[in-house]
Amino acid sequence: MNQVTGRPEYNWEKFATPESFEKMKKDKIEASRKWNANYRKMGVNRRNIIKTLEEAGAAGILSSNWAGGFGANRIFSAGTKTIPNIDLRLEDYSMLYRMVKSGAGPEIRVVSTSKDLGVVPTFNALAEIRGVEKPDEYVILSAHFDSWDGATGATDNGTGTIVMMETMRILKAIYPNPKRTILVGHWGFEEGGLNGSRAFVEDFPEIVDNTQALFNQDNGTGRVVNISGQGFLNSYEYVSKWLLPVPGEIKKHIKTDFPGMPGGGGSDYASFVAAGVPAFSLSSLDWSYRDYTWHTNIDTYDKIIFDDVRSNVILTAILTYMASEDESKASREKRIMPVSPRTGKQAIWPRKRAPKRKATDN
């Protein structure tokens, strides 16, 4: 769709007259209505349009997925098998759109150094500090790193990876003999359906069955502001206890929700929640993550807020230490699931899903 504006709505709201702002929003709605009507006429949708174009003989595809922020385009998989699908930034795409519409007949030349390497393996990177009293019980630190396609993946999930690596460095230096084994997992292919973490859950049931807790950090560079009990009935008791020594200047920003609802997806902690593990998402402040850095061409090092990352390291190190030292095994008792207002039926706990082991797996 040709975008009405390249300015985010918050920018319009701040500077435009109320009349101009409302007109822009109506224009966007009307453009979207017409665009969706064209899809219906073609008999395709956003999921299969790429496949349809490739099968129809396209030599290549130019696409543009504006993220809604200044200069930010969202980058995902190409969706093609043998031809290139190249993302154009908003104004480059809009300029071509205007030239075609005006009858100028633009020609473009594409130079790409990308290569299709076919099916390649993806890996998990694991490390541990072995426990001395309960070596067969585990506290797991969790992150991933997979959205570098458009830029360098600094906030998805480079910052989460930094947090877990630095937490392990600190613990190794000042807590080298933990009660329980501390394991860090940097999971591969998270965007492929939590594939790396689901594979770990399937391959190491003895670790999963004996995991005290898992702490996962994913959504951007911001300081942690929310921790949910993920549906575990007694999570208030032990998570609150583990949070007690966290400095007030860090803890004051964090809201908790107990027992909460189990996460069914979104990041790797969900693979463990489905297996009944007390696995917690250390959910962070937005810092315009969705508009600017989540899977975009500008998710780069300069967007990292290191004060917030440092705060998250301190929080994670303390939670890990407390969970490791806890005399009690964290309860896995699940809450009674509520009735869904959408379906009118009782919600069910997320089920474990098998990972993709080969390219032909669904």
Reported as a single tens digit per residue, the pLDDT across 280-314 is: 999 999 999 999 999 999 999 999 999 999 999 99
Residue 119 lies in a domain: no
**Residue 264 burial class via C-beta count within 10 angstroms: exposed 0-12, middle 13-18, buried 19 and up:** middle
Give pLDDT, residue 342.
Answer: 86
pLDDT of residue 306: 97
Q: In this model, does residue 189 exceed pLDDT 80?
A: yes
The model's pLDDT over 267-289, given as tens digits with 9 standing for 90+, comes to 999 999 999 999 999 999 999 99
Classify residue 69: in a domain, yes or no: yes
Same domain, 29 and 149: no
Last residue of a domain, one of 101, 134, 167: 101
Same domain? For 234 and 280 the reply is: yes
Please state the rounded mean pLDDT for residues 155-163. 95
pLDDT reported for residue 358: 84
Considering the domain architecture, whether residues 253 and 176 belong to the same structural domain is answered as: yes
96 shares a domain with 132 = no
pLDDT band at 147 (very low <50, low <70, confident <90, very high): confident
Domain tally, the chain: 2
For residues 296 and 171, membership in a common domain is answered with: yes
pTM for the model: 0.92
In a domain, 293, yes or no: yes
CATH number of the domain at 238, please: 3.40.630.10
Q: Decide if 353 is inside a domain.
A: no
What distance in Å separates the CA atoms of residue 307 and residue 170, rounded to the nearest whole number?
Answer: 17
In this structure, the answer to whether residues 92 and 214 fall within a common structural domain is: no
In a domain, 336, yes or no: no
Average pLDDT over residues 71-100: 92
Mean pLDDT of 80-107: 93
Share of the chain above pLDDT 70, in %: 100
Domain limits at 43? 9-101
Is the confidence at residue 330, as pLDDT, over 90? yes
152 and 222 part of one domain: yes
Do 304 and 203 share a structural domain?
yes
> Is residue 153 included in any domain, yes or no?
yes
Considering the domain architecture, whether residues 94 and 136 belong to the same structural domain is answered as: no
Q: Are residues 86 and 174 in the same domain?
A: no
The region of weakest confidence among 114-123, 196-205, 220-229 is 114-123
Mean pLDDT of 160-166: 97
If pLDDT is split at 50, 70 and 90, which confidence band does 145 have?
confident
Q: Would you say residue 146 has pLDDT above 80?
A: no
- Give the model's pLDDT for residue 76: 86
pLDDT band at 244 (very low <50, low <70, confident <90, very high): very high
Q: Are residues 58 and 191 in the same domain?
A: no
Work out the end-to-end distance of the chain between its first and last CA atoms, rounded to an integer number of angstroms: 30
| 78 and 133, same domain (yes or no) | no
